[in-house]
Chains A and B, each alone.
Chain A
Amino acid sequence: MEVTGLIDRRWTRPLVALFAILIVALTLGGGLSASADSINDDSDWQIKGNVKNDGEPLGGVLISVSGNGFTGEVKTGDDGKWSVGVPEGGKYTITLDESTLPKGVIVTDKDGVVIPPTREVEFGATKTALSNYFLGVGVRETTSFFDQFIQRIFTGLSFGLLLALAAVGLSLIFGTTGLNNFAHAEMVTFGALATLTFAVDFAWPLWAALIVAIVLSGAFGFVLDAGLWRPLRRKGVGLIPMMIVSIGLSLALRYLYQYLYGGSTRQLPGADGADLKFGPISLSPLDLLSMGISILAVIGVAFFLLRTRLGKATRAVSDNVSLAAASGIDVDRVIRIVWVIGGALAGLSGILFAFYRPGVSWDMGFQILLLIFAAVTLGGLGTAFGAVVGSIVVGLFIEISTLWIPSDMKYVGALVILILVLLVRPQGILGRKERIG
């Protein structure tokens, strides 16, 4: 067997071809890999298309393809044609770089109506997907910086709020048990997968699927606690070993999801609603609903923690476990409830994330795990409200930063902020100032 380490075998062949092209490109001094009109010719899955300006083929236009962890660029040949081999089927985003077009020419549809240069293609029954571009003379209406800024704030808020749901659960679990739960990501994915199963595979009405999915997510939290974490606590396993157990659990669950649901991204019903315009902001009803649900859930948690006996007991356990136990609080029960709440919130967060991305995939939770950790740390480890604040900061920062930095680097900004905040304020935004060293 050839040694390939962690590289998926399917990748090897197209990659070798790609590298060959890359080397040629590099040695030619171009430094660009996009000088060919086709890349990855020998891949099974091909995205093809042509670019025509007023019926005439146009060469030298830069097209980029990204999706499913793949990115690639090509320039159209003199015949206006291009093709990109991709590693697998599914959805891809295609962008025509309008700065490589002749002056005054932009992307239109067949009838000459101006449309965006970015679009999505999805492989159908065949392993070839087509994406043709028509060009025409026109002017692209660009949104003003301010309008974009406002739009980003809303998108960021929406993302931050859904992060907050997962972050609050993680923070409550950390507060009461001291566990840094890496498998929280899989609890997020669980909610989305459960919804997918009931709403799509079983074709239940969406509202019923959502309720069942959230209930199941809570039950999942309960099962994890009763079946794994409580026995480990009983056994007296230390916090760092527990954290490593959660890493193992995360790996096992994640690949189990992939095993059961496959590697592709699937859509939930109702993901494509028309946008509503509020001045500069365009939001889908779904965005609004998502924000509303998140806010309600956060308020619900706040009410629980501040106003109910159980919530107070939860805070007491977070504060000092032995003291809480001594005062007659059933610590195990509190922790069990925290796991159920954490599971349900994570599941809800996953469902909202599935509409936000959009799509359900086996590793969607893992994609935002670090952001959830960043939010919890930013807000102050173990403080539930800090986690909400941290999440909103992370969500806003990620979206707003894309005004200046490339969107494939947007998570970098959030993680850099995390490190910088720790430098100045190690206890986090809302954390109590105490000896952390």
Chain B
Amino acid sequence: MVDFWQIIQNAGVELISPTTAAYALAALGLAIHFGFTGLVNFGQAGFMAIGAYGYGISTLTFHFPVWGAVLVGIGASIVFALILGVPTLRLRADYLSIVTIAAAEILRLIFTTNTLEAVTGSADGLSGYKGGFADLNPIPDGTYGFGPWTMNAYDLWLRIVAWTIVIIACLLAWQLMRSPWGRVVKGIREDEDAVRALGKNVYFYKMQSLILGGVFGTIAGMIFILPRAIVPANYATTLTFFIYTILLLGGAATILGPVVGSIIFWVLLSAVSGFVARAQAAGWFDLIGMSSVQAGQTRFILVGIVLMLLVIFRPQGIFGNKKELAFVK
């Protein structure tokens, strides 16, 4: 029989998991780009990869302390944003999308190549960088929490840090978007020539937005690797598309949308794939001849379909104001 309680418990884990927090933060960065400024960034995976490798390489190769590694990652992502932005932010929106998706792939290929294996670990990636972060943990060893949220001191520490960062980022974004700065970037989303005619340096604001959302993505990339290892295959274009799904689920031009979108995405994904896997094992899908491997693949098919349906039928997301649609033009 299908153990529904177990499925619910597993889904519950995702509610506060650091992965959910990382995706929420990356989606918030994308909300700043896409939802508020109208920048079609398809390279958020690249920003996350920079966070992951920036942190990992500074720690493993250069033995930087945690704060140093974090700064290296953020610095690298600012440079990356500048490289992306300088040639494209003056051009039509499609160009940014193509250049960002290409740049993210370039990064992934560079991190994957055998040539740089000594530093990047090639296709195997990196691990063993978590010591510094674990050493900062003030929580004594032991078991904490209850039910599906039972965890050790490291996991608790990681969740506290991850979600604190998400909350701070939300507050920052919220304050920015209700300020005159936010008014300018939202104006740029609507019509950048009009904003230019009002004496605003549009290029400069777009660059600021690209950097800010990119830094959010980079920090998300660091949170993402703390419960796992760095594997270059994780930073493929699909990651960016998942973040778009999350963003559109919650609402592109909202602050809380990305967070709630990420929670719903991961809880649902876990529940659905848990259900399909267990139902398959229980023989529910024997009629259509589904194997266990196929059961694992259904979730990706579902994500694709959900993304399409969202854009077509509820483009403003769950939290979005029907009227304030970032992309309905």
The residues of A with any CB-CB pair to B shorter than 8 Å are 1, 3-9, 11, 15-16, 18-19, 22-23, 26, 31-33, 64, 69-73, 180, 232, 235, 237-238, 240-241, 243-245, 247-256, 258-259, 262-263, 370, 373-374, 377, 381, 406, 408-409, 411-412, 415-416, 418-419, 422-423, 426, 436-437
Contact assessment for B95 and A418 in the assembled complex, using a CB-CB cutoff below 8 Å:
no
Provide the residues of chain A in CB contact with B101, threshold 8 Å: 370, 373
- Interface hits, B219-275 → A, CB 8 Å: 224, 227-229, 231, 233-234, 237-239, 241-242, 244-245, 248, 270, 274
Contact assessment for B95 and A426 in the assembled complex, using a CB-CB cutoff below 8 Å:
yes
Tell yes or no: B209 within 8 A of A by CB. no
Contact assessment for A418 and B227 in the assembled complex, using a CB-CB cutoff below 8 Å:
no
Please tell me which one of the listed residues B98, B110, B239, B306 contacts residue A248 in the complex, with CB atoms under 8 A apart: B306
Tell yes or no: B190 within 8 A of A by CB. no
A259 and B99 in contact, given A5-B228, A412-B109, A422-B88 (Cβ under 8 angstroms): no
Contact assessment for A406 and B115 in the assembled complex, using a CB-CB cutoff below 8 Å:
yes
Contact assessment for A251 and B114 in the assembled complex, using a CB-CB cutoff below 8 Å:
no
Provide the residues of chain A in CB contact with B90, threshold 8 Å: 437
Provide the residues of chain A in CB contact with B329, threshold 8 Å: 238, 240
Contact assessment for B234 and A7 in the assembled complex, using a CB-CB cutoff below 8 Å:
yes
Tell yes or no: B40 within 8 A of A by CB. yes
Contact assessment for A6 and B234 in the assembled complex, using a CB-CB cutoff below 8 Å:
yes
A248 and B304 in contact, given A11-B231, A32-B118, A258-B297 (Cβ under 8 angstroms): yes
Docked pose: A255 CA to B298 CA in angstroms: 7
A415 and B304 in contact, given A3-B19, A5-B228, A426-B91 (Cβ under 8 angstroms): no
Tell yes or no: B137 within 8 A of A by CB. no
Docked pose: A253 CA to B297 CA in angstroms: 11
Contact assessment for B106 and A415 in the assembled complex, using a CB-CB cutoff below 8 Å:
yes
Provide the residues of chain A in CB contact with B99, threshold 8 Å: 418-419, 422
Provide the residues of chain A in CB contact with B239, threshold 8 Å: 6
Selected A-B contacts with CB under 8 Å, 8 pairs = A7-B233, A33-B121, A180-B97, A251-B301, A256-B301, A370-B105, A406-B113, A412-B106
Listed stretches B9-17, B64-72, B73-81, B167-175; interface member: B9-17
Contact assessment for A5 and B123 in the assembled complex, using a CB-CB cutoff below 8 Å:
no
Docked pose: A6 CA to B45 CA in angstroms: 12
Docked pose: A154 CA to B239 CA in angstroms: 35
Query: Closest A-chain residue to B303, C-beta based?
Result: A251
In which size bucket is the chain B interface?
A: 35 or more
A247 and B241 in contact, given A374-B102, A377-B98, A408-B109 (Cβ under 8 angstroms): yes
Provide the residues of chain A in CB contact with B97, threshold 8 Å: 180, 243
Tell yes or no: B181 within 8 A of A by CB. no
Query: Closest A-chain residue to B89, C-beta based?
Result: A437
Tell yes or no: B197 within 8 A of A by CB. no
Report the minimum CB–CB distance from A360 to chain B (whole Å): 17
Report the minimum CB–CB distance from B154 to chain A (whole Å): 13
- Further contacts, 17 of them, CB under 8 A, given A3-B13, A180-B97, A426-B91: A1-B13, A1-B274, A15-B125, A32-B117, A33-B122, A72-B123, A235-B312, A240-B40, A245-B312, A247-B241, A248-B305, A251-B303, A262-B293, A377-B95, A381-B94, A426-B95, A436-B91
A26 and B60 in contact, given A247-B241, A251-B304, A370-B102 (Cβ under 8 angstroms): yes
Tell yes or no: B54 within 8 A of A by CB. no
- Interface hits, B146-164 → A, CB 8 Å: none
Tell yes or no: B311 within 8 A of A by CB. yes
Contact assessment for A238 and B328 in the assembled complex, using a CB-CB cutoff below 8 Å:
yes
Tell yes or no: B93 within 8 A of A by CB. yes
A64 and B114 in contact, given A4-B228, A241-B311 (Cβ under 8 angstroms): yes
Query: Closest A-chain residue to B232, C-beta based?
Result: A69
Contact assessment for B308 and A248 in the assembled complex, using a CB-CB cutoff below 8 Å:
yes
Docked pose: A6 CA to B273 CA in angstroms: 13
Report the minimum CB–CB distance from A68 to chain B (whole Å): 11
Docked pose: A262 CA to B88 CA in angstroms: 39
Tell yes or no: B128 within 8 A of A by CB. yes
Chain B CB within 10 Å, residue with most, of A69, A259, A370, A426: A259
Docked pose: A411 CA to B102 CA in angstroms: 10
Contact assessment for A23 and B127 in the assembled complex, using a CB-CB cutoff below 8 Å:
yes
Contact assessment for B123 and A70 in the assembled complex, using a CB-CB cutoff below 8 Å:
yes
Please tell me which one of the listed residues A23, A26, A232 contacts residue B312 in the complex, with CB atoms under 8 A apart: A232
Report the minimum CB–CB distance from A415 to chain B (whole Å): 4
Contact assessment for A255 and B301 in the assembled complex, using a CB-CB cutoff below 8 Å:
yes
Please tell me which one of the listed residues A1, A15, A419, A423 contacts residue B124 in the complex, with CB atoms under 8 A apart: A15
Docked pose: A239 CA to B103 CA in angstroms: 22
Contact assessment for A23 and B304 in the assembled complex, using a CB-CB cutoff below 8 Å:
no
Docked pose: A7 CA to B239 CA in angstroms: 11
- Interface hits, B33-80 → A, CB 8 Å: 40, 60
A33 and B117 in contact, given A252-B301, A377-B95 (Cβ under 8 angstroms): yes
Docked pose: A412 CA to B113 CA in angstroms: 10
Provide the residues of chain A in CB contact with B102, threshold 8 Å: 370, 373-374, 415, 418-419
B119-146 interface code vs A (CB 8 A; 1 in, 0 out) = 0011111111000000000000000000
A408 and B128 in contact, given A240-B327, A252-B308 (Cβ under 8 angstroms): no
Query: Closest A-chain residue to B233, C-beta based?
Result: A69
Provide the residues of chain A in CB contact with B98, threshold 8 Å: 180, 373-374, 377, 418
Docked pose: A271 CA to B310 CA in angstroms: 42
Query: Would you list the 8 A-B pairs with minimal beta carbon distance, nearest first?
Result: A252-B304, A251-B304, A248-B307, A248-B308, A255-B300, A19-B127, A1-B10, A415-B102
